[in-house]
Structure 1
């Protein structure tokens, strides 16, 4: 199935019905998950630096 990545971070099928992003195999879903993980890691690193 084809999925599109919309601005709120959720993945929707092209007909507009919500889909569970964890089951989406599209490159957009993978890239979004990677970006979210990178942002979380950066936030954790910043918090650790501030606490040091």
Structure 2
């Protein structure tokens, strides 16, 4: 489950970067970035606790 969460976060960051530099889709891109950052932070926090 944690690897899946990390994979989703990385994919969202890549899509955000592509969207930010290639096409401006308004606030949707920034929402994806926030979700990705939260997922990465959860991965780091849970990884240290185990």
> Which bracket does the TM-score occupy, shorter chain normalised?
0.5 to 0.7
The residue that corresponds to 2:20 in the other structure is 22
Greater relative contact order: 1 or 2 (C-alpha under 8 angstroms, separation 6 or more)? 2
Q: Size of the alignment, in residue pairs?
A: 35
Structure 1, unmatched stretches of 5+, are: 1-7, 12-19
Q: Identify, as 1 or 2, the structure richer in helix.
A: 2
Q: Identify, as 1 or 2, the structure richer in strand.
A: 1
CA offsets, 1:15-47, max 9 Å, x none? xxxxx3223361000000100000000000000
The residue that corresponds to 1:40 in the other structure is 40
Q: Which has the larger radius of gyration?
A: 1
Aligned-partner Cα distance in 2 for 1:48–1:22? 31
